Chains A and B, each alone.
Chain A
């Protein structure tokens, strides 16, 4: 019987660019898939997971965009479409912006792909199997008039997706990213973002894959001096939704604002991980993770703030708020601090609980019936997050949240 790995090996060519892929695949094989005995995977329903459930699909035609997403494209400066990780279409252009399909597995910063993901089987597999690394380069001091919208469609049974964004000194870019499709699929995106001196990247990712998908995503942001990253990650789709979002502060004055939002229903599992690694001083991270679980859904948030020796006057804050919408829903929150410097400001707060009975009563005492009061409050809980999203995506997320809430049992 041919295993997934045999098929993957067969698929790789023999040319020079395949050499690196082959090496990543070999590493993947030696690292092996994680189990729930691994601390960082202990909350994942890995007992239901096997690579053999998935196949490496054949190329299929680009599909029509859903209407709601198509309607948001008018604001875009450039629209990029990928299909099963393959760059299919680029519409529009901007001086100083280059978009290309490049080989996967390249080094990012001073660290090779194989080193960075040495113990991360899924990212290694993604680097080995992604058709290309979709690469966006923004030149020095280039400021775009509108966002770049990327629509990733996952049509095949297993989809490996690599995205790299590099904003040169003084450049400024906003990216809106959609993840669609994913019926019964394994979808493994790896994103690497390099924000150079005094440059700015705003990235909003809206994952709405089918609820049968396994989505295992990882992003890494490297921030130079005075670089600014504002990242929003919205996870509403997938059966298992894992999003690991890391930031490395390599230059003083760098800042990272990260907002993650999820709404779990049915038997979804949302697994958010963050690592803010302050390697130098006067850097700032602000992290807000907020989500709700209904039905029998589960969520876990694991956040690590690391402040290295010498990274004085760093300001790092993380907040994790979890709303339980049913008695069967469950949320875990695991904030971690690793601080090796004295002169820093570091704060973390987390909470898990149902809607506040007194707040419900307050709305009822205005004449709002209980169900409606709860709906308003849950919608309000998400409003606080969608308020920080770029406008075109905020309306879609609000609608999606409202549709899901209408279906969940309380």
Chain B
């Protein structure tokens, strides 16, 4: 379909922009806080469902008011302040944890632009030219809260938790950034709306042509949010509860909120980067494209389109959130050395290869004059599928993918070895007496 000029970036008047921004900030902040509260309930409901229990069902209809009760309890409970703690840092740490988690929502495009009588309002709070980098930078700051909390508690378990968190988040930040590179190569820009438009132009969501980057991004996202199977920093069977061992009442709650806010951010980010953001699949009525001079062309915006795209975005984000929870209640925790090995010895070299191959493919496609579109995407899909296949085969080492046959051989071998040892033993000690 034909694309027509829709709007100029930064079209609103200064006053209009300020008013629109204030309204957007208020709405997004409130919605995020309520969503985070409901996520705690969702987590408990999902875990209950997976373990064949009922879950919270006493407060409100079906337990819906449980987060309110939890919040009240946390505010009203007595705070304990350990005497040996470094007072200032002890109070500062929860704030440091929660602030970055709450800031990152500012750059995520939530829906297609909304037409109002005063001009077109973009559905992103801050459309920064460095959106992706802003997100990476601020989500990496969350580690301060955890490290400081661990140190300020003057408790060896808390300190160990904080140190683990620091090491883990720094290690996986590298994998996170590297897997992001393929997306940035393909879009050629670090603005998040451009990432969404790029996927619309390609006709494929980046999860398909960049499947292996998507896999790595997802795994490192788990590590960055300190969720199971990467929750080493709080590993309750080893460290009591790690960095927040000494925290109680609302201070503990702030760490808790920060964790769920991180889950929400990362889910939104993955939806935007790899599942097309607010794009509605198989429909070009919402497509947009940014031009070099700052004009944006595309289908005419409408209120119903904004609402529909917002719904698409919520569904995609919800998918990742539910996956986060399903995986948390399915997999056991890694050992610490396994986490470090996975990050440094497996993901980093693999990602270096992936980045090189993807960049090479994109360069080759551009040199060959292939237009940015479906064919372009399919070639990348094929290349990524091959890489993903090789990676999974190497990772598997004949355990799962090759199936029962490989295991049968191994078992036969183990049986033969055992029989050999038994016979040797019997030769040395004489056969056991009969009867």
A binds B: no
Which residues of A are in contact with B by a Cβ distance under 8 Å?
none
Which residues of B are in contact with A by a Cβ distance under 8 Å?
none
